[in-house]
Amino acid sequence: MKIKNRLISAVSGLSMAATLLPINANAQKNPDIESKINALMGKMSLDEKVGQTAEMAIDIIGNWQGDEFVVDQAKLQKVIGQYKVGSILNAPGKALTPQNWYKVISAIQELSMKTMGIPCVYGLDQNHGTTYTLGGTIFPQNINMAASFNRDLVHKAAEVTAYETRAANCPWTYSPTVDLSRDPRWPRMWENYGEDCFLSAEMCRAAVMGFQGTDKNNIGSRHVAVSLKHYLGYGSPRTGKDRTPAYIPEFEIREKHLAPFKAGVEAGALSVMVNSASVNGVPVHMSKHYLTDVLKKELGFDGVVVTDWADINNLYTREMVAKDKKDAIIKAINAGIDMTMEPYDLTYCTLLKEAVNEGKVPMARLDDAVRRVLRMKFRLGLFDTPNTKMKDYPKFGAKEYAQLSEDAAVETQVLLKNEENILPLKQGLKILVTGPNANTMRPLDGGWTYTWQGDADNFAQSKNTIFEALQQRFGKNNVIYEPGVTYKMSGKYWEENTPEIEKAVQAAAQADIILACVGENSYCETPGNLNDLALSDNQRNLVRALAKTGKKIVLILNLGRPRIIADIEPLASAVVNTLIPGEHGADALARLLAGDDNFSARLPYTYPRYSAALTTYDYRVSEESGTMEGAYDYNALIDVQWPFGYSKSYTTFSYGDLKTDKTDFGLNDNITVSIDVTNTGKREGKVSVLLFSRDQHASLVPEVRRLRAFTKINLKPGETQTVSQTIKARDLAFVGTDDMWHLEEGKFMLQIEDKIAWINCTQDYTWK
């Protein structure tokens, strides 16, 4: 029996909940703040101005004494008192308690206010929760949050992270990461929101508003400043390796790679961090075109442009575009850098001062950089309240936050295969849990968790591994653990111990079903580079050997990027991709495998079938062609393991006719698309309704399809909802090789699942 027609709407892809948020992020500069900046600038010495553009690492001001990091007052006096440094960052190798953070940051603030009357701004990589503060809440990584296709989930997680970060006296986070992950070889794929620019832009907007609130001029003590990273084109390196050059057509940069940053700027982001590498031969750290002309002028960004770690140095040590450090500083500052993450060399201040005195960096450029840094500090309220105290944040580490993280992990793991409905697992089954990811927290949490490389096993002993979570849910006597393959935890992320596959095979004799937990150990940035996209030989051999036992296999993937599994996927009756679900990810997985909850996530990237056949879902139509007759017999058919947006569920959904409110449209029109979605199964379930478009003909080879809107709904068995999504006609445009936007006369196909509607643009439009 159908429960008919509860209307769910989305405007330009925004959920109803998101559209209700009061947005004041694009407000003009606050006159009162600007007046205070003017007054302060008139009193500042050149040393103080230079110091405001410098950011140093915490290691330079203190050291560990037992279990506590302690500020060395003599070192602090040199950094703050002598060099007037305006910002400190990072954790000293590992996470601190909130109390330790308060001691460290308040000591910095006390001297900074006493010396200059200007507060320091401290920054941490709280990249997927309160990752550098012990006792805080760890959420699934960004790639998981993208898989949820749920903006509200991203917003709530960012709010909690901001609250807990301020509880530890830190006002700034280097998050969200919004590079487009267009190459599965890239080791930072999991830090981002997937391969699609619209999905990334929507999640970026939700995250910024969760972190900062709705008024960029008044961030408040429950929110933190964000840093959008890494501007621009970082996620598409030609080699697939971290911090290596990208070569991207300008039209693709403007149309796709810029989109998430544009969304973040429009949402009020207070800072932007720069791509470590080069784009089209020019290091972004010295690109006046991207930093000043595009970001600051075209997008109207009035916040701080900060370098990534030591990247001004790389202009002369790696990129070879500057003759020495001073030359590198001049090029970067003049290009538009406002704050330099040095992080250890105080001669930066001396060299920049020399460059200003010599006229090689104009005073106007330095003043602009300083104004931006001061503006962020005023917007954060640091002049009035340099410190925030733990006692004012009683919900730090609250159980409800942990529950939110677990619920998020439920909503971000993807069911990819389920033959003969082998899942949910039946109660009473004897389960063998095997594989290197079965009994360790590291791959569940991933990098940027407690330490840079994610050494979670030393910090998250109270949380459940997959094996432990399954024992709790299915009973200790029903769950057997024999790994067969294990990681060498003291080695590099890809190193494994000598396999003991036969032990796992023998253990399988006692089991009714096998859960093979395979994937990657934790890694971060350049140490996560790889030379082979295939899953390791040991892990694939483990699955092959287990398949010979005749027992059914459920493949549990736990990885930061899609590793090739084409040879072992047919051996599994079911496949679940957990991605990197965080500290509560194993508990969430147990809920899903038991059927307590339903799968609802979708793949946020294209999962390749072959190492030499890498693509994204929005490839251009001419990339897929049949066999050519005659002498040139070639085949360019696109063949992937699973496409972007793919998912399965414990229930089924059907879709009615796709309807539009108009068949002809012009540039300034909005197009409303509606469709009835029905739960035709026997279980309640959530589903993300994805709206794609395709330009039938264009002056630039069109893409096969582009995501234009998404709305997540929950349906009870037999329930029908009408989902209505509104897109702007101008969003169907593309950037041409002339760097202009083009919306051209002709037909466009709109598609949701297998339902199609056609609309027609009545004339050509071109604009800057």
Q: What is the mean pLDDT of residues 405-410?
A: 98
Q: What is the pLDDT of residue 1?
A: 41
Query: Where do the DSSP E strands lie in 596-732?
Result: 607-608, 640-642, 653-655, 659-660, 664-665, 670-679, 685-695, 706-715, 719-728
Q: Residue 403 is inside which H or E element, if any?
A: helix 399-410
Residues 349 and 429 in one domain: no
Q: What is the pLDDT of residue 627?
A: 57
Residues 285 and 159 in one domain: yes
3-state secondary structure of 4: strand
Name the band, by pLDDT with cuts 50, 70 and 90, for residue 21. Answer: very low
Number of H helices, E strands in the chain: 21, 33
**Domain presence at residue 656:** yes
Q: What is the pLDDT of residue 632?
A: 54
**Domain presence at residue 87:** no
Report the CATH number that the domain containing residue 514 is assigned in CATH. Answer: 3.40.50.1700
Residues 383 and 312 in one domain: yes
Residues 426 and 353 in one domain: no
**Per-residue pLDDT tens for 68-108?**
999 999 999 999 999 999 999 999 999 999 999 999 999 99
Q: Is the pLDDT of residue 273 over 50?
A: yes
Q: What is the pLDDT of residue 28?
A: 80
Q: What is the pLDDT of residue 638?
A: 82
Residues 169 and 212 in one domain: yes
**Domain presence at residue 138:** yes
CA angle 56, 354, 90 (to 5 degrees): 5
Q: What is the mean pLDDT of residues 296-307?
A: 98
Q: Residue 341 is inside which H or E element, if any?
A: strand 340-341
Residues 362 and 457 in one domain: no
Report the CATH number that the domain containing residue 655 is assigned in CATH. Answer: 2.60.40.10
Residues 372 and 438 in one domain: no
Last residue in a domain, options 359, 392, 425: 392
Residues 310 and 341 in one domain: yes
Question: Minimum mean pLDDT among 132-146, 387-401, 611-625, 696-710: which range?
Answer: 611-625
Return the amino acid letter for 483.
P
Q: What is the pLDDT of residue 5?
A: 52
Q: Is the pLDDT of residue 131 over 80?
A: yes
Other CB atoms closer than 10 Å to residue 123's CB: what's the count?
25
**Domain presence at residue 18:** no
- What total number of domains does the chain contain? 3
**Per-residue pLDDT tens for 415-474?**
999 999 999 999 999 999 999 999 999 999 999 999 999 999 999 999 999 999 999 999
Arithmetic mean of pLDDT over the chain: 95
* Burial grade of 476 (CB within 10 A; 0-12, 13-18, 19 or more): exposed
Residues 304 and 446 in one domain: no
Q: Is the pLDDT of residue 629 over 80?
A: no
**Per-residue pLDDT tens for 230-263?**
999 999 999 999 999 999 999 999 999 999 999 9
Residues 388 and 438 in one domain: no
Residues 188 and 317 in one domain: yes
**Domain presence at residue 117:** no
Report percent pLDDT > 90 for the chain. 94
**Per-residue pLDDT tens for 308-317?**
999 999 999 9
Q: Residue 765 is inside which H or E element, if any?
A: strand 765-767
Q: What is the pLDDT of residue 17?
A: 36
**Per-residue pLDDT tens for 504-521?**
999 999 999 999 999 999
Domain of residue 719: give its range. 651-767
Of these residues, 308, 445, 597, 676, which one is catalytic? 308
**Domain presence at residue 84:** no
**Per-residue pLDDT tens for 23-43?**
444 458 899 999 999 999 999
Last residue in a domain, options 560, 585, 600: 600
Between 761 and 630, residue with greater pLDDT: 761
Catalytic site residue 567?
A: no
Report the CATH number that the domain containing residue 240 is assigned in CATH. Answer: 3.20.20.300
Q: What is the pLDDT of residue 265?
A: 98
Residues 366 and 426 in one domain: no
Q: Is the pLDDT of residue 18 over 60?
A: no
**Domain presence at residue 751:** yes
Q: What is the pLDDT of residue 10?
A: 52
Last residue in a domain, options 568, 600, 632: 600
Name the band, by pLDDT with cuts 50, 70 and 90, for residue 7. Answer: low
